[in-house]
A and B are shown apart, each in its own frame.
Chain A
Amino acid sequence: MLKITNLHANIGDKEILKGINLEVKPGEIHAIMGPNGSGKSTLSSVIAGREDYEITAGHIDFEGEDLSDLDADERAHKGIFLSFQYPVEIPGVTVTNFIKTAINEIRKARGQEPMPANIMLKQMREKMGLLEIDSAFLSRSLNTGFSGGEKKRNEIFQMAMLDPKLAILDETDSGLDIDALRIVSNGVNKLKSEKNAIIVITHYQRLLDYIVPDFVHVLHQGRIVKSGDKSLAHELESKGYDWLKEEAAL
């Protein structure tokens, strides 16, 4: 589904991604871990098509198609979704209006009619139930004045509504309290199928207790320095990153 080959990316003159290789197949869950500043959010932004980054080498293929000529919105139309580490506030635009616009723009790009209001409403109710979201939430301005946890829950609500093929969750667990972490993780698990794939970026093992990864990768200074199965996350939890940094330096 997603195939990243020797990806190098700069911001300004600074090289941040220094040769990433990663392959994600349908039905898989990949976890990406790594120290602060190692390039995890940069990688997710580059996959999503943020224009601030310049790709200097390598390429990203999604379902066999090179993404380099596609704008962020076109990538979203293909089914790529990013849950932001820092969701953005848009004052005056309600959650409902935002999601409605997103769904219908994606449908338009796919040559479909706008979603009938009653069906949209039904889906919203269902997903709100899944994520235990209060309906008053829908009429609030998008992310404006939301608590950290509310923002993250809203990201997953959008994911649930947009039903992407590939979802990248950038530190969705940070800011969530213990109950919310369980609710949101359960939600994500229910959205999981054989057809879609998820990349979770996290610093903590506890999220991976709920969303169990098939593969764990460690990103350090713009490179994947180690890949393994879920036991790698446990190892990191107890040993930290130092041993990997040393290995990488060799």
Chain B
Amino acid sequence: MKTEESYLDEVTASEYKYGFYTDIESDKVPPGLNEDVIRIISAKKGEPQWMTDWRLDAYKQFLKMTEPEWANVHYTKPDLQAISFYSAPKRKKELESLDEVDPELLKTFAKLGISLDEQKRLSGVAMDVVVDSISVKTTFREKLGEMGIIFCSISDAIKDYPELVKKYLGTVVPRSDNFYAALNSAVFTDGSFCYIPKGVRCPMELSTYFRINEAGTGQFERTLLIADEGSYVSYLEGCTAPMRDENQLHAAVVELVALDDAEIKYSTVQNWYPGDKNGKGGVFNFVTKRGICERNAKISWTQVETGSAVTWKYPSCILKGENSVGEFYSVAVTNNYQQADTGTKMIHLGKNTKSTIISKGICAGKSNGSYRGLVKIGPRAENARNFSQCDSLLMGSSCGSHTFPYIETQNKSAKVEHEATTSKIGEDQIFYCKQRGIGEEEAIALIVNGYCKDVLNQLPMEFAVEAQKLLAISLEGSVG
């Protein structure tokens, strides 16, 4: 007789399906971090002096900081002196079509089931593919260009649109914000830049696939997205990482600026390598994501997190302008020995600001998932409203889930509601499904997708399908 425990073990023991490694020749700087390394990075990227100075200044602040320890995660701190901070695929010329892309890279995408071509044709998605810190290919740029939309690598933006970058870079996440944000500011090598002009509705979903592809390379992306007054953009970020047995550090910074009446939808499907069944290897994902909303603006973060050995991530909104709206929809899955401490911060500064938080945690194996959310209502935020719902779904009894809601209110007219539930996948639910001919694996996928529905519904169609697949992969794999 199989117990619930034993089959959960079985179905949650799937290997990392996307584990593989691609050989692409790369050009690296020696490991370690110091001012010279930063100067080399800046020089290799052909940056102007102001950018080099900006980085060096960030590095000075970084040196004064220590790694944070308040999160509910345990890991061996990465040795920054052992990491190579720059690696770019060797590239001879600009690429015009997919035929010119490194065939190894194309094979990688094929294994992932993501063909660029298909993505482009089927979904009308413009892709800026980041492999090992540098953009290999930017598509649809011209079509977007006709509308005045800028979508390019951050490196190109520094060269081509220095005024916009200077004006906004580091304004939402200051260099001194936290240890990893300071580190990122000093050494970031690539990422995306996006600017939507006044009143423009971006006609397609903008998408970037981030990948880590070089042993021992830390990856520090920087994303800056500016939606000018009355504009709208939906941005998708997704990633998968190859199997590896040494820890890989990933410390990204994402800054969103939504000016008056603008709206930004930022969706992430995150699938970094989580480590093997025994907790060995896996990516450390320490991300700072934050957006600022001016008057009547709206930012919504949607994320499906299935990967990483250790995740530390709190996409946040600063609701500065009156009537601005912040939303956070999250599904975070942890399995085996994964640890995740995620959540959001909603900082209400303006009058009549509203925020919604829907967080769905799923814990399996021996993993540990924490939700950490801060709702802060400033003294001038008359009639601010927040609704938070934080649910946890436990699979088996060796995992743990924790909820840490923090509420700080400095205005009496504010209304803050918090709901939390913890549930288990019931044996009777699984029996019910099985009685109808639905196998264990499929049954768990069905129940989990149902549980996450409120979040998955926020994702654009194609992305939702991909997210469902990822949820299934990270929880199930092959039964029997």
Contact = CB atoms under 8 A, between A and B. Distances in A.
Interface of A: 48-52, 54, 71-73, 76-77, 81-82, 84, 87-93, 97-98, 101-103, 105-106, 109, 141-142, 158, 162
Given A54-B1, A88-B429, A48 B447 contact: no
Nearest to A99: B436
Nearest to B2: A51
B212 to A, nearest CB: 33
Contact of B450 (A84, A90, A105): A90
A102 B436 contact: yes
Interface residues of B, number: 25
A71 B434 contact: yes
A142 B452 CA distance: 15
Given A51-B1, A52-B427, A84-B432, A90 B446 contact: yes
B447 A90 contact: yes
Among A73, A106, A141, find the residue whose CB has the most chain B CB atoms closer than 10 A: A73
Interface in B426-480: 426-429, 431-440, 442, 446-447, 449-454
Nearest to B456: A92
Contacts of A90: 429, 432-433, 446-447, 450
Given A52-B427, A90-B429, A77 B437 contact: yes
A36 to B, nearest CB: 20
B453 A92 contact: yes
B9 to A, nearest CB: 15
Interface string B391-426: 000000000000000000000000000000000001
Interface in B275-289: none
B437 A102 contact: yes
Interface of B: 1-2, 426-429, 431-440, 442, 446-447, 449-454
Contacts of B439: 71, 73, 105
Contacts of A88: 426, 428-429, 431-432
Q: Which 6 A-B pairs have the closest CB atoms?
A: A92-B450, A93-B450, A76-B437, A92-B453, A72-B434, A106-B437
Contact of B435 (A82, A93, A141): A82
Nearest to B447: A90
A46 B438 CA distance: 18
B377 to A, nearest CB: 31
B450 A91 contact: yes
30 contacts: A48-B435, A49-B435, A51-B1, A51-B2, A71-B434, A72-B431, A73-B434, A73-B435, A73-B439, A81-B435, A82-B435, A87-B432, A88-B431, A88-B432, A90-B429, A90-B432, A90-B433, A90-B450, A91-B450, A92-B449, A92-B450, A93-B453, A97-B446, A102-B437, A102-B438, A103-B437, A105-B437, A106-B437, A141-B450, A162-B436
B427 A105 contact: no
A72 B451 contact: no
A150 B360 CA distance: 29
A90 B447 CA distance: 7
A101 B446 contact: yes
Contacts of A54: 1
A127 to B, nearest CB: 15
Contacts of B452: 92
Given A71-B434, A72-B431, A102-B437, 20 more contacts: A49-B434, A51-B1, A52-B1, A54-B1, A72-B434, A73-B437, A76-B435, A76-B436, A84-B435, A90-B446, A91-B450, A92-B450, A92-B453, A93-B447, A93-B449, A105-B439, A109-B437, A142-B450, A162-B436, A162-B437
A17 B426 CA distance: 25
A61 to B, nearest CB: 19
Among A54, A102, A158, find the residue whose CB has the most chain B CB atoms closer than 10 A: A102
Contacts of A89: 429
B361 to A, nearest CB: 15
B432 A73 contact: no
A103 B437 CA distance: 8
Among A49, A54, A71, A90, find the residue whose CB has the most chain B CB atoms closer than 10 A: A90
Contacts of A72: 431, 434-435
Nearest to A54: B1
Among B426, B428, B438, find the residue whose CB has the most chain A CB atoms closer than 10 A: B438
Contacts of B427: 52
Contact of B451 (A52, A91, A142): A91
A22 to B, nearest CB: 19
Contacts of A92: 449-454
A101 B434 CA distance: 11
B440 to A, nearest CB: 8
B434 A98 contact: no
A1 B148 CA distance: 71
Contacts of B434: 49, 71-73, 76
B431 A50 contact: yes
Nearest to A168: B435
Contacts of B436: 76, 98, 102, 105, 158, 162
A8 B442 CA distance: 31
A88 B103 CA distance: 50
A224 B13 CA distance: 44
B7 to A, nearest CB: 9
A49 B438 CA distance: 13
Nearest to A110: B437
Contacts of B453: 92-93
Contacts of A82: 435
